[in-house]
Structure 1
Amino acid sequence: AMGTGRVRLSGRCCAGAALVVLAVLGARGAHGYFLAMGKSECQYLNGTERVRYLDRYIHNRQQFVHFDSDVGVFVADLPLGEPDAKYWNSQPDLIEEKRAEVDTVCRHNYGVDAPFTRPGGPSRSPS
C-alpha cells in the first residue's frame, strides 16, 4: 500500500496543490482494465526557501517508480519500476530536466499554488 503519498520535511511542511494528475484507462481486452497514473507534487517549507518536487508513476494503485528532487534520480519502488528507473537515469537530458523542475515547475508556480496550500498538508476527515 502506498499510504498517504505525502513526505514530511523537517516536521512542518506544506504540500502544494498537485500540479499534474493524469489518469488514463487502458484498452479493454480479455483481462479488463488497468490504471496508469502520473502525479507530480510540490512541497513547500517557508515559502520557496525549501522546495521538494516529486514525480510519481502509479500502475493499478501501486507506485512503482518515482523521481524525488532531494535524491536527484528516479528510484524504483517495485521490481516493475526497475527497468524504467534504470533507463530514465541513463538519459542525462531527462535527469537534468527533472532536477530543474523544482525551479521551473514548483517555484515558478508558487504564487498560483500558495492560496491552495495548507500547513501540514492535505486535511483529513476524523475517523
Structure 2
Amino acid sequence: VFQEMFKGECQYLNGTERVRFLARYIYNRQQLLHFDSDVGLFVADSPLGEPQAKYWNSQTDFLENERAEVDRYCRHNYGVVTPFTVDRR
C-alpha cells in the first residue's frame, strides 16, 4: 500500500498580525517537500522531492497561488473560528 498525504498548517502569532502557512507533501511517511510562506518557495526535504520542488518553483502561477494561501486560507479561517475558540476564553 502506498500513501500520499498533504498537510496544510497555519501558525498564528498575536492573532493575524503574523501568520505563516506551511504545506507539507508526504509519501509513505516521508516528507518529500514543503512550502513555507516565510520562504515563498517549495523546498525539497529529500532527494525524491527535488524534481517536484524545482518544477513547482518554475510554475509562476502555481507559486503565486501558494503564496496567497496565507490570506485566502489562514486569515480567512482565523476569522471564521475565532468566535468559537479565541473569544470563548
> TM-score with structure 2 length normalisation?
0.90
Partner of 2:28: 60
String of CA shifts for 1:64-97, please: whole Å, max 9, x gaps.
1000000000000000000000000000001111
1:35-50 equivalences in 2 (<5 Å): 35-50=3-18
2:76 maps to what in 1?
A: 108
**Which structure has the higher relative contact order (CA within 8 Å, separation 6+)?**
1
Q: Please identify the structure whose Cα radius of gyration is greater.
A: 1
The alignment-based identity, stated in percent, is 71
Name the counterpart of 1:3. Answer: none
Name the Cα RMSD after superposition.
1.2
Q: Which residue of 2 aligns with 1:70?
A: 38
In the alignment, the residues of structure 2 paired with residue 112 and residue 34 of structure 1 have an alpha-carbon distance, to the nearest angstrom, of: 35
The alpha-carbon deviation at position 111 of structure 1 amounts to 2.3
Task: Tell me which stretches of 4 or more aligned residues in structure 1 moved more than 3 Å.
Answer: none
Unaligned runs of 5+ residues in structure 1 are 1-32, 117-127
- In 2: Cα distance, 1:113 partner to 1:44 partner: 13
State the partner residue of 1:85.
Answer: 53
Unaligned 5+ segments in structure 2 are none
What is the alpha-carbon distance in structure 1 between the residues aligned to residue 6 and residue 81 of structure 2?
A: 19
Supply the distance in 1 between the matched residues of 2:27 and 2:69 (Cα, whole angstroms).
23
Aligned residues: 84
